[in-house]
């Protein structure tokens, strides 16, 4: 019976490992202890038969093609738990981001891609494309309802475009459109604490799907749009509710 020889490929001209070393000079992948601490607290461990430790070893071994084809990097939340527990301080989320960016944009997950594109095209920066006037209407309508139903909050405010407030509060896009009552608990806390705050009629959306898409240009576009609104209103602090 003939035996098939195993051929080991030579090193590619350039691999992700080379790029990672340039990006993360303090994170020496070769010093990974394979201790598994990164995997133990990772919410994506076990999905697609992958975990952070396995992902890292594949990169070290030059398995770029296999990593690129895997959907696991898109399941990572980039929460950075792995970084906090790693004794070698290897920044796996940064690697995840660059792996995502290496995939052609039209081959990245459609849901994330569409949400990014809708947000960029919207004045509200909302992944649901919520028009400015719809957001204003929903906030005022819900506020009026709770003022009437709960007399103890009859003077509660949910200001929009208030100049010079202490805090600019943003809002997850889904809540005004699909779960408007979920906005109220935060309003109550801010009211009871006597916080000086405001929404903005534009660029109020909290999420940024372009970040998760690894779309640097549009990620920056959304951040700048939100920062510009904060500057326009003259607020002191931008509070990200996400």
**What pLDDT is stored for residue 25 in this prediction?**
56
* Separation of alpha carbons 208 and 210, rounded Å: 5
Distance CA 187, CA 183 (A): 7
Stretches in the chain below the pLDDT threshold 50: 1, 6-8
Classify 16-103 by CATH class.
mainly alpha
Tokens read off for 137? 């209407």
Q: What are the residues whose beta carbons fall under 8 Å from the beta carbon of 30, sequence distance 6 or more?
A: 60
pLDDT digits (tens, 9 = 90+) for 213-230: 999 999 999 999 999 999
Q: For the chain, what are the domain ranges? A: 16-103, 110-239
pLDDT at position 27, please? 53
d(CA 226, CA 238): 9
Q: What is the pLDDT of residue 61?
A: 84
DSSP string covering 205-237, please?
Answer: B---HHHHHT-HHHHHHHHHHHHHHHHHHT-SE
Q: What is the pLDDT of residues 119-156, one digit of tens each?
A: 999 999 999 999 999 999 999 999 999 999 999 999 99
Q: Chain centroid to CA 96: how far?
A: 13
pTM recorded for the entire structure: 0.82
| E strand or H helix at 133 | helix 132-149
């Amino acid at each position: 019976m003939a035996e098939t020889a195993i051929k080991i490929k030579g090193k590619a001209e350039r691999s992700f490992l080379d790029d990672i070393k340039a990006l993360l000079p303090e994170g020496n992948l070769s010093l990974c202890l394979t201790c598994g601490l990164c995997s133990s607290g990772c919410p994506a461990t076990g999905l697609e038969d992958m975990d952070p430790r396995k992902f890292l070893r594949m990169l070290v071994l030059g398995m770029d093609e296999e990593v690129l084809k895997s959907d696991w990097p898109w399941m990572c939340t980039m929460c950075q738990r792995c970084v906090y527990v790693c004794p070698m301080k290897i920044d796996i989320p940064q690697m995840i981001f660059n792996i995502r960016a290496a995939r052609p944009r039209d081959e990245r997950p459609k849901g994330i891609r569409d949400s990014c594109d809708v947000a960029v095209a919207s004045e509200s920066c909302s992944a649901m494309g919520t028009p400015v006037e719809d957001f204003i209407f929903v906030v005022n309508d819900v506020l009026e309802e709770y003022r009437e139903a709960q007399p103890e909050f009859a003077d509660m405010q949910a200001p929009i475009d208030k100049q010079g407030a202490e805090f600019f509060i943003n809002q997850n896009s889904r809540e005004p459109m699909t779960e408007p009552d979920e906005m109220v608990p935060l309003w109550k806390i801010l009211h009871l604490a006597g916080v000086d705050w405001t929404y903005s009629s534009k660029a109020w959306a909290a999420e940024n799907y372009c970040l998760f898409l690894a779309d640097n240009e549009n990620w920056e576009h959304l951040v700048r749009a939100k920062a510009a609104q904060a500057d326009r209103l003259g607020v002191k602090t931008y509070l990200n509710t996400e």
